[in-house]
Amino acid sequence: MYGEVFVNGVKSSLNYGTYGFVKRKNTLIGSLTVREYLYYSALLQLPGFLCEKKSVVENAIVAMSLSDCANNLIGSHCCTKGLSDGEKRRVSIARELVMEPRFLFIDEPLYHLDSVSALMMMVTLKKLANTGCTLIFTIYQSSTEHFSNAGFPCPIMQSPSDHFLRAINTEFDQIISMCRNLEDDHGDLSSVNMDTGEAIRTLEKTYKSSADAAAVETMISRLTEREGPSLKSKGKASSATRITALTWRSSVLSIFGVPAQLKEVKMMMMLSAGYFRIRNALPGLVWMYPMSYIAFHTFSIQGILENEYNGIVFTVGQVRTIPAYEALQNVYDVPANDHSKWKNLMMLSLMVLGYRVLVFLLLQIHVKKFSLNGFVCCKRKMNDKT
């Protein structure tokens, strides 16, 4: 793609916030609801006060017809099932509408959508265009009329997509050539009786000489001649606002996000396990008691050292030798005991069992809590009705 950008008849560049771009693939945060995700996007992009950002988010939700699913989780492949593909596509567009752009570029808005979702998308985009937002998007939907006018009509009982691909895809020429070398029947591979390069040139020539091309050129010339006010950027969120929003999100994920929490727990255990600093040198409160005793790294490191080095003698120059158990005890604070490695293995086995039982009990308490809350709410509604 190449060309020049004219805004209201004046050649200029697009400032920040005056345009938006929606990629073909959805990149969303599946653990947030639609409203939370759009508000999070507004915090990172928009300047101004929080109340103004909330108003912009609500306008974007209404513009993309997302009011019914505004409080639903977006969802992803690794999380619980959330929105449909069509709804996720509209959320991606709403994310750009948060900036209230004058131009919106969309790459294949109907990508991987069924007929109902595609129709809903086009109706929503038409409603959005009526508000004054200029939409520029690409749609890879083959036109049977254009191919027929170029001399490549689609045969009856054949998929138009397959027919068009065989007309313009150069790989089919290679397949037909291979079939000819094998003296195989290749009559059903393509209904276009010409070279692919020639077919592409014919289609291009037919379009350039068509009424559609003339209408597009006329429309472009009118738009470039039309004058209007220059577009100004509304500004963007300050660095302090962005840092605050990202820090808050990281803090919340460290508490409620299981993967992030597990990484931090493992890091805390590694710091108190005696690998980076021997246990006798750790501060007594928190790091020594209880962190070093509940960290599975402590017992795994001790077990490995005892299993690998006990029974070995180290030579110190030509003067004397040091047994391995003495070195482990003096340097790494590992007890000199022949059976201590089995004690460490037993502790690791108990941790494997104990931590799983603990997680199971916590899940049971969590489920019962939600069940109790649901029962109380249901009973309260029944009492209100009576």
Residues 267 and 329 in one domain: yes
Residues 93 and 44 in one domain: yes
Say if residues 32 and 38 touch (Cβ distance below 8 Å): no
Residues 101 and 127 in one domain: yes
Distances from the Cα of 237 to the Cαs of 49, 50, 229, 234, in angstroms? 10, 11, 24, 10
The answer, yes or no, to whether residue 244 has pLDDT greater than 70, is yes
**Average pLDDT for residues 14-40, to the nearest whole number?**
85
Residues 163 and 125 in one domain: no
Domain assignment present for 249: no
Domain assignment present for 251: no
**Average pLDDT for residues 30-48, to the nearest whole number?**
87
**Average pLDDT for residues 352-370, to the nearest whole number?**
79
CATH for 46: 3.40.50.300
SS (H, E, C) 50-68: HHHHHHHHHHHHHHCCCHH
Say if residues 82 and 75 touch (Cβ distance below 8 Å): yes
pLDDT for res 263: 65
Domain assignment present for 304: yes
Domain assignment present for 146: no
Residues 379 and 265 in one domain: yes
254-267 confidence digits (pLDDT tens): 655 555 556 666 67
Specify the amino acid at residue 296.
Answer: F
Burial of 234 (0-12, 13-18, 19+ CB in 10 A): middle
Domain assignment present for 246: no
Domain assignment present for 299: yes
Domain assignment present for 203: yes
**Average pLDDT for residues 332-338, to the nearest whole number?**
69
Least confident of 13-22, 99-108, 231-240, 361-370: 361-370
Domain assignment present for 247: no
Residues 318 and 374 in one domain: yes
Residues 17 and 62 in one domain: yes
Provide the residue range defining the domain that includes 177.
Answer: 158-225
Domain count, the chain: 3
Residues 15 and 110 in one domain: yes
Largest CA distance in the chain: 100
Say if residues 66 and 93 touch (Cβ distance below 8 Å): no
Residues 58 and 118 in one domain: yes
The answer, yes or no, to whether residue 96 has pLDDT greater than 80, is yes
